[in-house]
Amino acid sequence: MALSRRLFLETVGASLALSELTSSAAQDAGQADKDVVFGKGGDSDLHLDIYRPPAGAPSKRMAIVHFHGGGFAAGNKNGLADRLKPFTALGYVNIAAQYRLSGVAKWPAQIEDVKAAIRWTRASASSLGIDPRRIAVAGYSAGGHLALFAAGTQNRPEFEGKGGHAGVGTEVAACIAYYAVTGPAWEGFRRAFPLPEGSSDEAWRLATPGTYIKDFPPTVLHHGLADTTVPPDSSAEFLALLRGASVPAELHTFAGVPHEFVQHPEFAEATARLNDFFLERHVLNPRTYPPFGAGRGGGGRGGR
């Protein structure tokens, strides 16, 4: 009992210390290299912002490339700044990248810009201080669709575009998707998605991330159960697709929480830690676990 209590107290103490470190470092993680040109979208420059870990934070030597939401028609990379602070405090290089909105260009321009951002990140690995094999994508709402789509279509020439750094790979080590627009499960998908008017059913199928499920890397999903913009069922159904394809995947749901909940600092920090634990297990230090209770004499049922 004494040993168990001591271990419990040590664990709680370590968690509180990490919480204080993360919160303190997050307050200092707002500095960025702003509006760095990473490629071309048509005839226009595309820009990104780089958020680096603050002094004293651990270094994961890993980058996460983030894509904003806005129904494909609105939003910009600047709106991601605050929600990236917990990620930088945990030691990740974070990149908030621009992509062309639906009023500027039709599909597949958006995914071509996403791919260009991934290529730029890989080509810049040395200056960013990252391992080029450790690049993840993350997206929010419509940006979640783009992150998922990029994860499932790594190095597919029909989606690469000509935005720059030709020949550099677009493979990603993991995907993080917040309240993602995954396709037809969301009634507004066809109204918002930037496919040309009159596109065929086959074109819609090819613009849906689930079409490419067998090629996905480890993926973690987050969704508020009170989301009335993008239904939580869309993430639950996508999780089922991932698991059906034997892709390591998790879905974290939050009761009573609406769309865009990660704008709240507490949720940004909590989900960043969940993502960090997921990335540690599947990318940074890959490992598997035996069924819970196996070999420990406890006789407990195996975990899922």
User: pLDDT, tens digit, for every residue of 262-273?
Assistant: 999 999 999 999
Q: What are phi and psi of 165, to 5 degrees?
A: 55, 50
Residue 235, C-beta contacts closer than 8 angstroms, at least 6 positions apart? 177, 179, 180, 182, 221, 222, 223, 251, 253
Residue 296 placed within a domain: no
Segment holding 253, helix H or strand E: strand 249-254
Residue 79 placed within a domain: yes
- State the pLDDT at residue 103: 96
- Classify 259 as helix, strand or coil: coil
Residue 75 placed within a domain: yes
Residue 230, C-beta contacts closer than 8 angstroms, at least 6 positions apart? 141, 179, 180, 181, 186, 223, 259
Nearest CA among 273, 210, 282, 276 for reference residue 239: 210
Residue 277 placed within a domain: yes
The end-to-end CA distance of the chain, in Å, is 28
The pLDDT > 70 percentage for the chain reads 84
Residue 161 placed within a domain: yes
pLDDT tier at 55, thresholds 50, 70, 90: confident
Structural domain boundaries, residue 213: 29-284
Residue 297 placed within a domain: no
Across 51-65, 164-178, 287-301, least confident range:
287-301
Residue 192 placed within a domain: yes
Residue 238 placed within a domain: yes
138 CB burial (10 A radius; 0-12, 13-18, 19+): buried
Q: Is the pLDDT of residue 241 over 80?
A: yes
Q: What are phi and psi of 41, to 5 degrees?
A: -115, 95
Q: What is the pTM of this model?
A: 0.87
**Cα 60 to Cα 149: distance, rounded to the nearest angstrom:** 25
Number of domains in the chain: 1
- State the pLDDT at residue 291: 74
Domain at 78, CATH number:
3.40.50.1820
Q: What is the tens place of the pLDDT at every residue in 60-112?
A: 999 999 999 999 999 999 999 999 999 999 999 999 999 999 999 999 999 99
- State the pLDDT at residue 187: 65
pLDDT tier at 292, thresholds 50, 70, 90: low
**Cα 65 to Cα 144: distance, rounded to the nearest angstrom:** 11
